[in-house]
Amino acid sequence: MKNNIDEINRNVYDIKNKDEYEFKIKKGITKDIIEEISKQKNDPSWMREFRLKALEVYNSLELPTWGPDLSELNMNEIATYVRPKTKLNTSWDDVPEDIKNTFDKLGIPEAEKKSLAGVGAQYDSEVVYHSMKEELSKQGVIYTDMETAVREYPDIVKAHFMKCVPVHDHKFVALHGAVWSGGSFVYVPKGVKVDIPLQSYFRLNSPESGQFEHTLIIVEEGASLHFIEGCSAPKYNKVNLHAGCVELYVKDNAYLRYSTIENWSKNMLNLNTKKALVGKNATMEWVSGSFGSKISMLYPMSILNGEGAKTEYTGISFAGKGQNLDTGFKVVHNAPKTSSVVNAKSISKNGGACTYRSLVRINENAKNSKCSVSCESLMLDDISRSDTIPVSDIRTDEVEFSHEASIGKISDKTIFYLMSRGLSEEDAKAMIVRGFAYPVSKELPVEYAAEMNNLINLELEGQVG
């Protein structure tokens, strides 16, 4: 035991002391690897330089010292996570049985299954995507993959790329900056209301995308958009690190809703970073359902920079056996009359652990602002865990702030009541859990809500013994 600890400490020490010249040693990520990625991506020179700078930052930062234990992530082997193409390819036979079963139960078509598992050719929703794209481009909306955006819209990308989430934020953001690949770019011009939700699901990229994907969305003044990321099918990746980055710019009087249903396979470490800058009288809404991954550290953040800016976060995490989901929300009130509403829920069962971790900061200039936080946890047995770690940093008296937290269990009385109406014990529990999740599912488009309910049923299956 002692030896183990010593070893881990030494590894961290090694990383800390690396300098540029040591990049070329085999451990860690080398400049060569980054150059290789950049070349394959056909990066313009500014992006190539950006990646290399991010690599420097990556090497200078430490792993987070709080939150779930990430020691299983071997930082010395990190190069194998980020080497592009060939090495990441898996075969259908390598995809675990439970994932294949879940695909079946969710009724996912064959071609799509393979694409989700990262082993197939591009899914033919391309057609849907293209017709949608045509419709949007008539309105001046740009919706494309991130690589294309870098090449075709360099000015917009340069002005926004990793400006909202700077590479110095934390080690995994720096890593992302160096190795990012794939993702979505959306630009909605001033005053344009996009009336159909855009779904990243319609445009699955190359097999290895979805690991370090970059999403950049700019909603100009008075424009509005609903963007949906991910889908309920378990996304399988042989390599087990996901460090995506989402940057959202919601300009004055604009509206953006960003919905996510995430169901990473249970070997995944999901260390994703999402942030929104919200302008005057603009609205940013987050809807988030986290089901998958082994460990998640996910804290979407809104920075309310304009007077009257609003944000709302509605999220649910569901942790089963072996899962540690550390999720929450961060908000900075940085202008007067800003408001935020947080409604966070978590469910844990079979020894799963959910932590709600949040930050509310209300700056001195944010007079007459409002913030209300509510978090509710449901534990389905005695061996699961649920924790709430809220931090608030309020620097003015002229605010309304409220925080409510509750941790509950399903009572035997409630189960008896439902059973007396003909529901089996399993049905009764599933109904209670679906009801608990309803405030989140009602915010999703109907097909996603149905998928989420299916997912809850699948997660609960076999848990009543």
Which residues would be at the binding site for another protein (CB under 8 A)?
411-414, 416-425, 427, 431-432, 434-439
Count the Cβ atoms, other than its own, within 10 Å of residue 422: 8
Considering the complex, state which of residue 95 and residue 444 has its C-beta at the smaller distance from another protein. Answer: 444
Considering the complex, state which of residue 148 and residue 424 has its C-beta at the smaller distance from another protein. Answer: 424
* Residue 446 in tokens: 């109907």
HSE on the CB side for 288, CA within 13 Å?
26
HSE on the CB side for 58, CA within 13 Å?
27
Q: How far is the CB of 435 from another protein (least distance, A)?
A: 3
Q: How far is the CB of 322 from another protein (least distance, A)?
A: 27
Considering the complex, state which of residue 205 and residue 386 has its C-beta at the smaller distance from another protein. Answer: 386
Radius of gyration in angstroms for the set of CA atoms belonging to the chain, rounded to a whole number: 22
Give ∠ CA 205-297-456 in degrees, rounded to 5.
75
Q: How far is the CB of 441 from another protein (least distance, A)?
A: 8
Rounded to a whole number of angstroms, the distance between the first and last alpha carbons of the chain is: 35
Angle between helices 425-441 and 446-460 (to 10 degrees): 150
Considering the complex, state which of residue 221 and residue 426 has its C-beta at the smaller distance from another protein. Answer: 426
Considering the complex, state which of residue 12 and residue 423 has its C-beta at the smaller distance from another protein. Answer: 423
Residues β-bridged to residue 81: none
Considering the complex, state which of residue 56 and residue 427 has its C-beta at the smaller distance from another protein. Answer: 427
Considering the complex, state which of residue 241 and residue 456 has its C-beta at the smaller distance from another protein. Answer: 456
Q: Which residues are within 8 A (CB) of 428 and not within 5 positions of it... i.e. 6 or more apart?
A: 414, 415, 418, 419
DSSP 365-399: T-TTEEEEEEEEEEESSSS-EEEEEEEEEE--SSE
Considering the complex, state which of residue 195 and residue 412 has its C-beta at the smaller distance from another protein. Answer: 412
- Please tell me the distance from the alpha carbon of residue 341 to that of residue 285, in angstroms, as a whole number: 9
Give ∠ CA 76-352-287 in degrees, rounded to 5.
90
Considering the complex, state which of residue 8 and residue 464 has its C-beta at the smaller distance from another protein. Answer: 464
Q: How far is the CB of 434 from another protein (least distance, A)?
A: 7
Q: How far is the CB of 323 from another protein (least distance, A)?
A: 23
The answer to whether residues 300 and 274 touch, using CB atoms and an 8 Å cutoff, is yes
Q: How far is the CB of 449 from another protein (least distance, A)?
A: 12
- Please tell me the distance from the alpha carbon of residue 237 to that of residue 234, in angstroms, as a whole number: 10
For 139-168, letters b (16+ CB in 10 Å) and e give eebbbbbbbebbeebeeebeebbbebbebe
Q: How far is the CB of 284 from another protein (least distance, A)?
A: 25
Q: How far is the CB of 313 from another protein (least distance, A)?
A: 18
Provide the residue type at 26 as one letter.
K
Considering the complex, state which of residue 241 and residue 418 has its C-beta at the smaller distance from another protein. Answer: 418
- Please tell me the distance from the alpha carbon of residue 459 to that of residue 316, in angstroms, as a whole number: 14
Q: How far is the CB of 433 from another protein (least distance, A)?
A: 9
What's CA 192's distance to the chain center, in Å?
26
- Please tell me the distance from the alpha carbon of residue 283 to that of residue 308, in angstroms, as a whole number: 9
Beta strands 295-298 and 269-278: pairing type? parallel
Of 281, 286, 274, give the one whose Cα is nearest residue 305: 281
The answer to whether residues 336 and 307 touch, using CB atoms and an 8 Å cutoff, is yes
Considering the complex, state which of residue 401 and residue 438 has its C-beta at the smaller distance from another protein. Answer: 438
Q: How far is the CB of 232 from another protein (least distance, A)?
A: 18
Is residue 427 packed enough to be buried (19+ CB in 10 Å), middle (13-18) or exposed (0-12)? middle
Q: How far is the CB of 429 from another protein (least distance, A)?
A: 12
Q: How far is the CB of 42 from another protein (least distance, A)?
A: 49
Considering the complex, state which of residue 8 and residue 423 has its C-beta at the smaller distance from another protein. Answer: 423
